[in-house]
Amino acid sequence: MRHFISKIGQIRTVALLSALTIAIALASTLAFTVLVIKLNVELNLNTVLLISVLVTLTIAPMMSWFIVGLFLKVDRLEAEMRLLATYDSLTGLLTRREFLERANYFHKVALREGLPYALIIADLDNFKEINDHFGHLTGDQTLEFFGEAILANLRESDLACRFGGDEFLFFLPNTSRDQAQQFGDRLHSVITETIDCSDLEIDLSISLGIACYPGIPAENVKDLISAADNAMYQAKRSGGNKTQHYSLASIQ
């Protein structure tokens, strides 16, 4: 709705609403007049004018209230849609699309300023067992708890998203390889300290893949994501519950 108002301008919007309200009020007055004539009710001119004014004064505020309420409702719906497009409803983290847009921007900044950054992919080990044995509701609760724990451990400049299913993606600007490793260590601790699966008799852990720029040359964020993804699957193949840095030696 704001886009509509911006497009035609505030003055035109007010004029359009005023014209619409007046037209409806006049139509109501005309309908009332026709009804009086059909019923052969004798009214003097002053009475007719008074009734016309009263009808207009009644209809105009009602229409204005309705139209403003409609605008506010559309505005709320737009805000809700923006929120859903920005944040994952389950974990509270960024959506995949929003993450990639922001990460690509920070990547361009890193290229221009010569700044390092780290990209980390995290995949929950044994998460399928939780869904298979205890249901998707328990699985969703586990993801929700993990999302809350992630938000509590992020710096203000860090980006995190639910990349899909039980995979999470992190963009850590101005971060060295050692600092990325420290962040990965904290994620391992988060799993053991924050998410208690002892009642489920399942050892929930996490496998991490880390790719760092400029150590790994990349024209765009997707190149780093691919590198981190390869490293993460290397950690999975090694038994899970590990952090693997991407390097040609470790992947080949």
Helices marked H in the chain = 2-8, 10-38, 45-86, 96-113, 127-134, 136-153, 177-194, 221-237, 248-251
> Taking a C-beta distance cutoff of 8 angstroms, is the pair 142, 197 a contact?
yes
58 contacts: CB under 8 Å, gap ≥ 6: none
Asked if 203 is an active-site residue, the reply is no
Identify the active-site residue in 166, 178, 199, 229: 166
Spatial CA neighbour of 14 closest among 22, 53, 59: 22
- Contact in structure between 119 and 220 (CB atoms under 8 Å): no
Query: 213: how many CB neighbours lie within 10 A of its CB?
Result: 21
Helix (H, G, I), strand (E, B) or coil at 168: strand
> What's the rounded Cα separation, in Å, for the pair 99 and 81?
16
Active-site positions read 166
